[in-house]
Amino acid sequence: MIPLAGQPLPLEAPQPPVNPAANRFKLIHLLEIDTATPDGLARSLPFTPYDTTAGAENEYQTAVLGDREQVDLACEIEASGFFRNLKKRARRGDTPQFRITALERFLESNHDRVWENSWVRLPVDALTPYARQVFAEDLQADKRRKDSPQRSDACQFSITMAGCEYLRIPISYLLKLALADAVGHPSVHATIRDAGQAAMNHFLSDNTSPETFSFHPVCADGQAGPGDALARETSLRFLFSQLLIQYANRQFGLIDSGQRATLYFAPHPPLRQKRLNALISDSFYRSLFMSPCLSGWNDGEAKHRYMHLCHTVLSRSQLNAVIKLREAGIVANNLVVLPSTSNISLANNGTHISLGSRRLTGCMQDPGSGFGPAEEKHYGDLAIKIIEHFLPLFVGTFSAAPYRIDFMDFHPERVLGFLPHELDFTHLRMLWRRWKKKAHMKILGRCITPFGPEWLDRTLARGFGLKGDFVPDFRLIDYLVALMATDESPALDGCLGNETRLKQDLGDMGVFDPCMPLYMLYRARCFQTMGFSGFEGRHYSLFENLQRDMAPAANLQMLVTSLAYKYIFTGAVTHADIPDHPFIESERRQIFFGTAAGIPTFYVRTDTPNHLLARMVRKTANIRNSRRYAGYTRVRMVDFRQMLVKLLHQDAPELIEAGGLGPTLADLARRTAGKGCHTAAGRLTRRICDNAGAAAPMALSSDEFNSAAEKFYREDLKKEQIEQALDVWTEQVRHLDGMSTWRRGIYNQALFSVLGGKDAATEIRNRRSAVVNEALTTPALARLIHLMLLTLTHMKRNPRSGSPNDGVLPDHATDTPPVH
């Protein structure tokens, strides 16, 4: 057996600081938690179905289809000072010729004519006066002041072509501008115009990708959790974005000028963008791809500078990760493939699901409730630590980001990404050793990694059949999703201000910046900041089917959050049971990251001070003492996840029954059975391989598989999700256009202005094929946009519309503000 080198961990767990908020019995009284019976507990706990509101934030991938002469990205690169200077230096011999050759090849070899994350150019004359007004307001340096001057960078959004004035804007802002244009005509009914103006605030121009967040918080459908309602709202928001993109393509003349904008779900930064990133400087990358933050922020320039800071910090952090790999002994010498000075991980796209508790929010709203920020923090931190143990259930099962890695790219400094900042060196070495074994990277019985020169690594790969690996959710490996605490500054010890202290420590180490919010897998949404009390799940990548995958994921998230509070209020788990030590934090998170990488086993200290994890390991089948690591227990991932499902049945039967979550748990059991055919990762992988004509991912090179994945997301999956959203919309407009709604007379005139008395569901059915194939005319798109706004407004006023208990909720049920 091999003892693990690394920082010794005391067997006696460090004691958490004394916190005056840690009076469980007082809190039970304040929140009126009924601990006398299981049924009473299920009715009174936070985050049960009738207590929970939910919302989502989605990031979309965008692209512009067209020739290099018409598309903004190619034009900007060719006209840039960077490109001109590079050519001059190459002619003088100051820069290798291959650099300019590679950049020219990037521009010339785009045979698919797809330019991901390109901006678009549109004539100012194509905009309605109201859309121009919105754009002018968004150019203000401070939108809170009517007399504010323009932003100092306003000139970059306007160019002159052939004597005409054009706008240059990212697609993230194009969505808002298209919406403003569609509702800006004087003939548009006031109800529709007001709904459109309110909806504009939900289209953010934040990072590289467009972001939208829920138009309203959703509530549980009857007794089955908020998942179905959240999936419906997300699906309609996606369809709404598609209508706006199609409207912009037609109304603003983008198609006529050789630029067809497109929008879809895709989890990874595009391959071509990665290649371009390796050819240009980090500053030039930011000027091409970082959003100018025109929408969603009072001081857009300040937000834009902040996004530059995020990119700079992550790029520096990735270089520091290489140093940590050497300190951990994973990089045994100085022969490494240095990462680019520009990190591209901010171009990944995921979904964040936020849950709010009416009970906790109500207490926070009442100054005399006795439940304040200290209590919210103390018990919220403990809930997060508990929930992190259950997060492996979500990875690959409900969302995924399948990715193929060739042997030539299997350098630890590339594939381990930010893990050196997220795991203790002991767990990092364990994970890396097991990952290499999984990838079958052996020559004559000895495990190897690529040497560096591509010709040599390619020869080795061909000669010895080294194919690299396939990963079910590489987004969670390639992005900084959860920073590890330091010895002196834990992030989850329940004390106010602990995150600020940790960020300062990480800033001193060159890992992070104190100005940025702390990255976590499951993040508290504090009342003082967000206006509601709850949590945000940030571990979701791509849902293949929103109703099939996102709905049960949201319900499961609600269940484990409610179970965490059951553990807390019954005294089953305290802060002392999950000590705030970096090693212990890393010990539970290694399971999550190992699941994302598809690694079949992990190791836990046999005498771990984490009592909750120790209990879970004891209940897991097929465990044994490790023959490699003295004092450690070997656990199979499939057995651990199946144990978690059984634990939910054992510890939360009343919560499952009260929430009607039996079908969710049965579905989860199928997904975790080990075969993979029912998981999101398995379905996405199979469909990508089918489209590429391969039996399995390993039958394709990384370029072949990952390119096929991007094409699948951009074409087939997008159309399929539009079809699914149209089904949801047809169902929802029947409630909007139904007799009970007509009797109330809220939408009669607005609906008549759109449809002229025609049936709404019939209108959608007649337009269905044209929507999917993006063949609608501008007037038809405008009508559908108006109808969608009315549908979303009706859903906001009737959060359970379409559920078994369809009807209007009392006012307090919709008080939770939008989650973002």
Q: What band does 13 get if pLDDT is binned at 50, 70 and 90?
A: very low
Q: Give the H or E element holding residue 79.
A: helix 72-79
Total count of domains within the chain: 1
- Dist. CA 135–CA 501, nearest whole Å: 40
**Residue 341, pLDDT score:** 83
Strand order in the sheet with 164-169: 120-123, 164-169, 158-161
**Residue 208, pLDDT score:** 86
Q: 611 in a domain, yes or no? A: no
**Residue 743, pLDDT score:** 59
Q: Which residues contact 315 (CB under 8 A, 6 or more apart)?
A: 282, 340, 341, 342, 343
Q: What is the pLDDT of residues 470-524, one digit of tens each?
A: 999 999 999 999 999 999 999 999 999 999 999 999 999 989 999 999 999 999 9
Mean pLDDT of all residues in the chain? 91
Supply the DSSP symbol for 214: -
Q: Is the pLDDT of residue 166 over 90?
A: yes
Q: Is the pLDDT of residue 291 over 80?
A: yes
**Residue 152, pLDDT score:** 95
- Dist. CA 253–CA 649, nearest whole Å: 56
Q: 162 in a domain, yes or no? A: yes
Structure tokens at 113: 């004519």
**Residue 820, pLDDT score:** 35
Q: 171 in a domain, yes or no? A: yes
- Dist. CA 136–CA 132, nearest whole Å: 6
Task: Give 169's strand partners.
Answer: 120
Q: What is the pLDDT of residues 624-670, one digit of tens each?
A: 999 999 999 999 999 999 999 999 999 999 999 988 999 999 999 99
Q: 147 in a domain, yes or no? A: yes
Supply the DSSP symbol for 21: T
**Residue 805, pLDDT score:** 34
Lowest pLDDT segment from 137-141, 340-344, 482-486, 810-814: 810-814
Lowest pLDDT segment from 86-100, 533-547, 722-736: 86-100
Q: What is the pLDDT of residues 216-230, one digit of tens each?
A: 999 876 667 899 999
Structure tokens at 40: 């009473």
Q: Is the pLDDT of residue 813 over 80?
A: no
Structural domain range at position 126:
61-66+113-264+711-814
The residue type of 397 is T
Structure tokens at 772: 């999917």
Q: Is the pLDDT of residue 167 over 80?
A: yes
- Dist. CA 171–CA 165, nearest whole Å: 19
- Interstrand relation of 534-540 and 260-264 (parallel, antiparallel or unpaired): unpaired
Q: What band does 30 get if pLDDT is binned at 50, 70 and 90?
A: confident
**Which residue in 725, 711, 716, 686 sits closest to 550, CA to CA?**
725
**Residue 3, pLDDT score:** 41
Q: What is the pLDDT of residues 88-121, one digit of tens each?
A: 999 998 988 988 999 999 999 999 999 999 999 9
Q: 92 in a domain, yes or no? A: no
User: 162: exposed, middle or buried (C-beta count within 10 Å: 0-12, 13-18, 19+)?
Assistant: exposed
Q: What is the pLDDT of residues 603-636, one digit of tens each?
A: 999 999 999 999 999 999 999 999 999 999 999 9
Q: 51 in a domain, yes or no? A: no
**Residue 442, pLDDT score:** 84
DSSP per residue, 536-548: EEEEE-B-S-III
Lowest pLDDT segment from 16-25, 346-355, 675-684: 16-25
Q: Which of 1-5, 61-65, 740-744 has the highest mean pLDDT?
A: 61-65
Q: What band does 702 get if pLDDT is binned at 50, 70 and 90?
A: very high
Q: What is the pLDDT of residues 558-597, one digit of tens each?
A: 999 999 999 999 999 999 999 999 999 999 999 999 999 9
**Residue 8, pLDDT score:** 46
Structure tokens at 20: 């005056």
**What pTM does this model have?**
0.94
**Where does residue 618 fall: left (phi above 0), alpha (psi -120 to 50 degrees), or beta otherwise?**
alpha
At 213, give phi and psi (nearest 5°). Answer: -130, 160
Q: 254 in a domain, yes or no? A: yes
586 vs 320, which has greater pLDDT? 586
**Residue 460, pLDDT score:** 87
Q: 544 in a domain, yes or no? A: no
End-to-end CA distance of the chain: 49
Q: What is the pLDDT of residues 416-446, one digit of tens each?
A: 999 999 999 999 999 999 999 999 988 887 8
What's the whole-number mean pLDDT along residues 735-746?
Answer: 74
**Residue 18, pLDDT score:** 62
Strand order in the sheet with 601-605: 601-605, 632-636, 624-625
**Residue 735, pLDDT score:** 87
What's the whole-number mean pLDDT along residues 248-253?
Answer: 97
Asked if 152 contacts 160 with a C-beta cutoff of 8 angstroms, the reply is: no
- Dist. CA 750–CA 252, nearest whole Å: 26
Q: Give the H or E element holding residue 169.
A: strand 164-169
Q: Which residues contact 779 (CB under 8 A, 6 or more apart)?
A: none
**Which residue in 548, 550, 484 sits closest to 512, CA to CA?**
484
- How many residues in total does the chain contain? 820
- Dist. CA 48–CA 657, nearest whole Å: 11
